[in-house]
Amino acid sequence: MADAKLWAPRAWIAGRWQDAVLLSVDGSGHWREITSGVDTLQPDTTVLPGPVLPGIVNAHSHAFQRAFAGLSERRDNDADDFWSWRDRMYGVALRITPQQLRAVAAQLYVELLRGGYTQVCEFHYLQHAEDGRPYGDPAALSWAMADAAANAGIGLTVLPVLYERAGFTRPALRDDQRRFAGSVALVQKIVQAVGDARRPLVNAGVAIHSLRAASRASIIELMQCVGHDAVPVHIHIAEQTGEVDDCVAATGARPIEWLCRELRPDTRWQLVHATHATQAEIDAVATSGAGIVICPSTEANLGDGLTDVPRWLARGVPIALGSDSQVSRCWPAELRLLEYGQRLVRRKRNVAAAPKQGQPATAAHLFDTVLAGDGRTAGLTRWGLVPGARADALVLDLRASGLLGVPPLHALDALVFATDAPAFREVYVGGRRVITEGRHMEEAAISERFSEVMVELWGGSNGV
């Protein structure tokens, strides 16, 4: 692509709004230079129609679950929890084809762009054919998601998952988990294939499904294969109290406690959920340098519980956001729920604000915390509105009801706490505009194909 110049009336830089900002994009789609206070524009400069925020990384996604969102919100028995939800979710996992996955993922990725995400990390454990047999190409389902990401124009980090057993005391997978089997060798093959393909905006890391689903020996083998490469390493951890109890029974330690003691995670590691964490465990993660990924809408939907956000913030642990099961696909809504959960349990307001650190605004403190750790969750060395980072940008729509008439200083506050729907007028990824007037150019065709797939998956039935 050719060099380009974008000008914004305001942009969020270094933790505050700055005025009259010129953003120069180089030929590789990265920020060359960002300068505030520029009032005189050259003729070839594109004037953006609103204030600019950096894009956000969706650090935890299961794309195929977009086909299940909204289909589990009723119960026929006395109780419903994460584990019963999981058994029903397997219904779509067991029958979605690569072609259907591509259509579902494309719909999701357009929605994520509209919701302010410009990079998505796919925690990818759906690996094999419907009968559990390997595809001829081990990366077949990875390519389905990569094709969908290219169609949408979003960045993608593929995280093939080590997944080898059904539980601490169950050395094999259940039959309804047959598509998930992921050995160290398979993970390596997919990572290698994605790297060799050199697709634009696509890279790879590795993932471990959970401590219950992978042995200590296999996790160590995987990390030996990774070596010292600066690739992201993601793991589900301590999402459910039942998971914590099982880990204590099997190992004598809580999941995060065991992970930090036995595997010594470093700055490459992302602990997904980390819902049930003691103060000692939070301190151990902080010492390790690892980050956590919180998925507020999914954790609420599944009844997981609430993690100790103030403690994580106080210890300076990087926090990223994930859409996980896709019941919400908009990061302002995730930040709002993250804060509201803390308000409800503590009966206080503005829990995440940090006035003693010079940041009295809750939304700004949460946003900057997420932004600071976003790049490494996806294996990207730079992220945000800084030179050298990919040229991703979100242009706010000041005509949106939640932002209309709001004083400029409070725009981020209003976006998170007073706006009911995505309020991004334009979205740029790698210097290329992919959302215009809140819509994607391919939105109609992508939505039509998604609707067809939903009929293929669920038509003629009551769903699950």
DSSP 282-345: HHHHHHHT-EEEE-HHHHHHTT-----HHHHHHTT--EEE--BTSS---HHHHHHHHHHHHHHH
273 is catalytic: yes
Longest dimension (CA), the chain: 68
| Rounded-to-integer distance, Cα 154 and Cα 111, Å | 10
- What are the C-alpha distances in Å from 358 to residues 200, 319, 336, 353, 412? 39, 19, 21, 9, 16
Q: Which residues pair with 167 in a beta bridge?
A: 170
Q: Give the pair of three-digit tokens for residue 317.
A: 């642990």
Q: Which residue from 451, 455, 463, 434 is spatially nearest to 103, judged by alpha carbons?
A: 451
Which H/E stretch holds residue 445? helix 443-458
| Rounded-to-integer distance, Cα 206 and Cα 125, Å | 11
Q: Which residues pair with 47 in a beta bridge?
A: 7
Q: How far is CA 153 from the centre of its chain?
A: 16
Question: How does strand 155-162 pair with strand 117-124?
Answer: parallel
Contact 52, 41 (CB under 8 A): no
φ/ψ of residue 18, rounded to 5: -120, 145
Which H/E stretch holds residue 249? helix 241-251
| Rounded-to-integer distance, Cα 343 and Cα 358, Å | 21
324 is catalytic: yes
| Rounded-to-integer distance, Cα 264 and Cα 216, Å | 12
| Rounded-to-integer distance, Cα 128 and Cα 21, Å | 48
Catalytic residue among 62, 128, 273, 276: 273
| Rounded-to-integer distance, Cα 355 and Cα 32, Å | 33
The label of the residue with tokens 């600019």 reads 52
Catalytic residue among 308, 324, 368, 392: 324
Hey, which residues are catalytic here?
A: 273, 324
